[in-house]
Amino acid sequence: MKNIHKSPWLLHYDGSSCNGCDIEVLACTTPVYDIERFGIVNTGNPMHADIFLITGGINSQNEEVVKQIYSQMPDPKVVIAVGTCACTGGIFKECYNIKGGVDTTIPVDIYVPGCAARPESIIDGVVKGIALFQKKHEDMKKVGKVSNTMN
């Protein structure tokens, strides 16, 4: 079976957001938007996750946490920054403790702008992320990097 894009499991992490974007992300899982129809499971475990969805920017405290979660996710993985804060730092950009967007710490694949990002655009970003997830998997297959690394 080549297609793994039908089962993207999602991990939601709240950086230093104002909670506006988080509420919109959670709205996606409600019956109105129901992202589970794409096979998405909102998991809390990085070891099970395929898509890392972050809201809010990076501050000096959560920088290590984000790195840690990212390193615990098995390949292939996709990172989605949701909301202006996660993309660039947003209205908190000038704060003394804010480093900026998520891409200051880990590589981001998809940017979803908006303050707050609307559920429709979040789903749009996630669907793009799913396509990228499949592509990364195929690239990995080509390079033969699916080898089971132990560490």
41: β partners: 9
d(CA 47, CA 55): 20
Q: Is 90 left (phi over 0), alpha (psi -120 to 50) or beta?
A: left
Residue numbers at the binding site for other proteins (CB under 8 A): 1, 3-4, 6-9, 29, 31, 34, 36-39, 41-45, 47-48, 50, 72, 74-76, 137, 146, 148-151
Residues 32-91 that bind ligand SF4 (CB under 6 A): 55-56, 83-85, 90-91
If residue 112 lies in a helix (H) or strand (E), which one and from where to where? strand 110-112
Q: Which does 43 bind (CB under 5 to 8 A by kind): other proteins, ligand SF4, none?
A: other proteins
d(CA 128, CA 38): 12
The smaller minimum CB distance to other proteins, of residues 66 and 85, is found at 66
Chain residues that interact with ligand SF4, rule: CB under 6 A:
17-18, 20-21, 55-56, 83-85, 90-91, 115-116
